[in-house]
């Protein structure tokens, strides 16, 4: 069985953004279709619409945590609070492991500057920085945020 990390990196290397890569890697386990994963994650790349806010991989990780632990109806306040608390903790862990949870700081370039983007592609920055974010999110989802581990 292929690891979630390997699957997510494969997705990223083959046209998916960071968020889509995470969602696709966990799709089968979470009962999501490929189409739904692509749609849900499509606007999250580059830190939400290339605004370089919270990293797309981290956003997708938060979505997976919500699927696993969140409320299934409006009256389930405990489930909603549990997901909120777990996502807060997850964000802190990502921030520690990556130096930031923000795409702008993780990448260190302006995604809206075509020259910076081109130079970064040539230098392999996206494979390195985005790859690290994707691996971190996969590792955390697999080790710290499994239903059986809480």
Alpha carbon of 139 to those of 22, 29, 80: distances in Å?
Answer: 11, 15, 23
Q: Which residues are bridge partners to 54 per DSSP?
A: 102
pLDDT value, residue 146: 87
Q: Which residues are bridge partners to 102 per DSSP?
A: 54
What predicted TM-score, i.e. pTM, was given to this entire model?
0.94
pLDDT value, residue 1: 56
Q: CA–CA separation, 119 vs 96, rounded Å?
A: 27
- The percent of residues above 90 in pLDDT, for the chain, comes to 95
User: Residue 36's pLDDT band (boundaries 50, 70, 90)?
Assistant: very high
**Residue 142 corresponds to which tokens in the numbers above?**
């697999």
Q: Is the pLDDT of residue 77 over 90?
A: yes
CA 85 to chain centre: 17
Instruction: Evaluate the CA torsion angle 149, 6, 62, 72 in order and state its sign.
Output: negative
Residues 104 and 52 sit within 8 Å (Cβ to Cβ) = yes
């Amino acid at each position: 069985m292929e690891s979630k990390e390997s699957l997510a990196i494969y997705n990223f290397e083959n046209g998916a953004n960071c968020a889509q890569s995470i969602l696709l890697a966990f799709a089968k386990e979470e009962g999501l279709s490929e189409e739904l994963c692509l749609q849900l994650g499509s606007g999250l790349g580059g830190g939400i619409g290339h605004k370089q806010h919270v990293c797309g991989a981290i956003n997708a990780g938060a979505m997976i945590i919500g699927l696993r632990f969140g409320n299934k109806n409006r009256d389930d306040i405990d489930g909603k609070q549990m997901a909120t608390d777990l996502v807060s903790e997850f964000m802190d862990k990502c921030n520690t492991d990556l130096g930031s949870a923000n795409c702008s700081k993780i990448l260190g370039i302006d995604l809206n500057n075509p020259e910076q983007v081109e130079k970064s592609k040539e230098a392999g920055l996206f494979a390195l920085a985005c790859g690290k974010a994707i691996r971190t999110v996969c590792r955390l989802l697999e080790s710290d945020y499994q239903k059986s581990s809480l």
